[in-house]
Structure 1
Amino acid sequence: MPRTNTQLTSLLAAADWGPAQFAAALRGVAAEQGLTLTVHLTTVRRWLEGVQPRPPLPALILECLSRRLDRRVTAHDAGLTRAPAQLMDPAWEADPMRKLFHLTRTELDPNRRALLGADVLTATALALPAQSQTQAQSTDSARSGRRATESDVGQLDDVASVFATWADRYGGQRMRAPLAAYLTHEVEPLLHRPAPTQVHSGLLSATARLALLLGSMCADSGHHPLAQHYHQIAARLATDADDHTTLAIALRTMATHAHDLGRHTSAVLNLAEQADQHARNAPPAVRAYTTIHLAVVSAHHNPRAAVAALARAERLHARADAEPGPFSSYPAGALHYQRAQTLATLNDHTGGLTALATSLRLRTETERLPAALTHARLAETHLRLGHLEPALTHWHALLDAYPTLHSARADQRLAAAVQHLRAHQRRAGVADLLDRITELTSPPR
């Protein structure tokens, strides 16, 4: 017989929830994740009697209670000793290096990789990191073996450029496992070599940037909770390295990820503001990168502030050097794409259309996935404005690129196209486009 879960009973009492109210709140949190739960009063009563919920329910329970109580609730606190949170602790207090390499090793194990999908996005994780003093190394380290050097830091950044270029060309799905393998087999041993403090800090920063790339690849694969973990790890590593520029990029990435999933809360705005603050001494390209997204998020809260941030980002971008690299440059096409997002939120759809057209014109050959997604947004905006023919042209351009892309975002834009076009099925050219989408997206028989 299972033991009564007294911890969960106490938490529900503190939350002032009865079983039925808790069940309703859980269904709401699940709906935010795109999940449909069959959880009712009797289900919650069984948990209180000691029955253990199955994944992803434990993570949803922890998220729901953390929001209600306005503090982090752990699996131990709730009596959920087999919760997924034991595998992937979302707390900022977790050792980021141990957490990173635990996750990357799990990514490479086919028998355990499925566990990585048993988690949920957590609004309570949208917070700023505290320094953890991550395994600091010193010049007088007694460890044996070759010392890490500045050239090792440069190598990690070179590898990051290769992975970032590949992801921009083809999407993140196919490169996720190779990057996890590189982090596990090459970066983890490197971080444990003796090194001067400055070199070790450089290695932490470079590892943070690789973790950001891996998180973005997970997001592009549709694995959003896992992406959130990698982004958090990157922010922690950058904090431990005292690297405000990489921290600014990490916080901006977190805010972008949340915004793209439809979260426009004050917590997301705070992340965007903090990213902009940490970038204040960064090169102009990084400052433009954080400020333009501050404009995107501010448009949901303060239109005047959004317009001011937009103008500031454009001035910064004009001053930026053309230094290559995924973390040292900011493509003009991306800047105008975010300009379009800002204007669309401010209901300037004509201005947004112009910004998207400029974005597409400025995309480089390397930016195949961003260009395809820009075609999709152009199609959607044209249709919103009643321009069916140019919308069809842009959707066909997306389909031209689609066979070479391995991206959940591209999949989602095609699914959205089908939804948008249902009301126009009898118009010339629409049936042909829908047939082409079906042909390209149907699984082989």
Structure 2
Amino acid sequence: MDPSRRGVLGAGLYSVALTVPGWPDVVGRFERIRADPHSRIGRGEVESVIAMTERISEIDDQFGGRTARPMAAAFLVNNIAPYLRATASEPVRRAMLSASADHLYLTGYMAVDERLDTLGQRYYTKALELSLAAGDHLTYCTTLRGMSVQAVELGHGAAALRYAEAASTASPQAGPRMRAFLAGQQAHALAQTGDRVGALAMLHVAEVAMEQAESKAKAHGSYDPASLAYHVAQVNFELGDRDGAIRALQRSEKVRPLVYRRARVRHRAMLAEWQVEAGRLEEGVRNWHLALDDYPQVQSGRADDRFRAMVVATKPHTRNHHVRELLDRAGSMAAGR
């Protein structure tokens, strides 16, 4: 059984009025948690949560949220919840809160990938609470940014901007990679709200910060040039520059590490959609075929969204034999899922 599904109805209903928890309420709430005197944890348990989160994240990148989230949810119920009730030294307790917050953020991200958006919001809210209780600004800001990504993908630009700005405000001492990470998302949200000047200015902030970050040691799995190019593409698209959006997304695909299979499916399909909108049908068909190469291995609601968008976008072109071949291939895949 997937423990995270208990009592969840209408999990696809996104709330733009979600309340971000505040520091005093969270600290008081966690101070009142009743510890289990018969259970004690140490650094080993903290390291196990960190390692499990990393492994599940790798599986998610390659195979999608529907594959990976049940593992994360089961680990949360069976391992993390008892760890949070166990007695521990203060440093270990804070480290466990931080590791658990990161796990909850990932679980929320995977729920959003399944298009269980309300469920994702619930996980995100709990991640914010735990990261505040731990004093973990990195996970707090990362979670707020995740909430902004969810909002902007659903077309709620104002909410996306509110979360992105909250993340930036909460991270005044951020290093250059985190500044790029946050500024890129702010730029996307600003563009969706129609603020061209603000979006381009924030995109410049992200580009400068990325240059500074790339001159230092690289961190695996963090915001990278492919991610920045993706934000450039999204900003251009929102501002009506289709050619600029296509070029930036092509650049993103060239430098994205191969391990990110789900992103490859989604972004190649998105690129194909934009190319067809720009009258470049044959290029679009080629990119849809590339997306379909990986699609059968990815269990992702967001990837499924792109599959359905492909069917809609090609309807006006079904007399083209390349399109018919594409749809025949897609049809056989749909029948097998």
1:284 to 170, 176, 186: 176
* RMSD, aligned CA: 2.2
1:370 to 245, 263, 274: 263
Say whether 1:332 aligns with 2:225.
Answer: yes
With normalisation by structure 1, the TM-score equals: 0.70
Deviations 1:282-341 (A, max 9, x none): 232222111100000011242111111111111212222444454xx2132122111110
* Number of residue pairs matched by the alignment: 330
d(CA) in 2 for partners of 1:344 and 1:142? Answer: 53
d(CA) in 1 for partners of 2:82 and 2:235? Answer: 43
1:354 alignment partner, SS class: helix
Residue 149 of structure 2 corresponds to which residue in structure 1? 256
d(CA) in 1 for partners of 2:238 and 2:36? Answer: 57
Say whether 1:409 aligns with 2:336.
Answer: no
1:344 to 216, 228, 237: 237
> CA contact under 8 A between 2:131 and 2:139: conserved in structure 1?
yes
Residue 132 of structure 1 corresponds to which residue in structure 2? 26
Report the CA distance shift for 1:142/1:352 in structure 2 as closer, same or farther (over 3 A).
Answer: closer
Residue 66 of structure 1 corresponds to which residue in structure 2? none
Alignment map for 1:66-81 (pairs within 5 Å): none
2:187 to 295, 310, 317: 295
Report the residue type matching 2:245 in the other structure.
G
Say whether 1:442 aligns with 2:322.
Answer: no
Instruction: Give identity over the alignment, percent.
Output: 29
1:394 alignment partner, SS class: helix
The structure showing larger relative contact order (alpha-carbon pairs under 8 Å, at least 6 residues apart) is: 2
d(CA) in 1 for partners of 2:107 and 2:217? Answer: 25
Question: After TM superposition, what 4+ stretches of structure 1 lie above 6 angstroms from structure 2?
Answer: none
> CA contact under 8 A between 1:337 and 1:356: conserved in structure 2?
yes
1:143 alignment partner, SS class: strand
Q: Structure 2: which 5+ runs fail to align?
A: none
Deviations 1:41-100 (A, max 9, x none): xxxxxxxxxxxxxxxxxxxxxxxxxxxxxxxxxxxxxxxxxxxxxxxxxxxxxxxxxxxx
Residue 247 of structure 2 corresponds to which residue in structure 1? 354
> CA contact under 8 A between 1:295 and 1:309: conserved in structure 2?
yes
> CA contact under 8 A between 1:136 and 1:197: conserved in structure 2?
no
d(CA) in 1 for partners of 2:117 and 2:224? Answer: 24
Deviations 1:322-364 (A, max 9, x none): 44454xx213212211111011111111111111011101111
Report the CA distance shift for 1:126/1:314 in structure 2 as closer, same or farther (over 3 A).
Answer: farther
Alignment map for 1:74-93 (pairs within 5 Å): none
> CA contact under 8 A between 1:129 and 1:235: conserved in structure 2?
no
d(CA) in 2 for partners of 1:160 and 1:307? Answer: 35
The alpha-carbon deviation at position 272 of structure 1 amounts to 0.8
The alpha-carbon deviation at position 128 of structure 1 amounts to 4.9
Report the residue type matching 1:143 in the other structure.
P
Residue 46 of structure 2 corresponds to which residue in structure 1? 153
Report the residue type matching 1:122 in the other structure.
S
Residue 93 of structure 2 corresponds to which residue in structure 1? 200
Report the CA distance shift for 1:142/1:376 in structure 2 as closer, same or farther (over 3 A).
Answer: closer
Report the CA distance shift for 1:118/1:385 in structure 2 as closer, same or farther (over 3 A).
Answer: closer
d(CA) in 2 for partners of 1:398 and 1:406? Answer: 13
Structure with larger Rg: 1
Residue 174 of structure 1 corresponds to which residue in structure 2? 67
The alpha-carbon deviation at position 126 of structure 1 amounts to 4.8
> CA contact under 8 A between 2:64 and 2:299: conserved in structure 1?
yes
The alpha-carbon deviation at position 263 of structure 1 amounts to 1.1
Report the CA distance shift for 1:349/1:142 in structure 2 as closer, same or farther (over 3 A).
Answer: closer
With normalisation by structure 2, the TM-score equals: 0.91
2:87 alignment partner, SS class: coil
Q: Structure 1: which 5+ runs fail to align?
A: 1-105
2:259 alignment partner, SS class: coil
The alpha-carbon deviation at position 135 of structure 1 amounts to 2.9
d(CA) in 1 for partners of 2:279 and 2:51? Answer: 46
1:123 alignment partner, SS class: coil
> CA contact under 8 A between 2:53 and 2:72: conserved in structure 1?
no
2:198 to 305, 324, 329: 305
Report the residue type matching 1:347 in the other structure.
G
d(CA) in 2 for partners of 1:369 and 1:286? Answer: 23
1:395 to 288, 293, 306: 288
d(CA) in 2 for partners of 1:132 and 1:359? Answer: 39
- Relative to total residues, which structure has the larger helix share, 1 or 2? 2
d(CA) in 2 for partners of 1:390 and 1:279? Answer: 41
> CA contact under 8 A between 2:3 and 2:77: conserved in structure 1?
no
The alpha-carbon deviation at position 117 of structure 1 amounts to 3.2
Report the residue type matching 2:308 in the other structure.
A
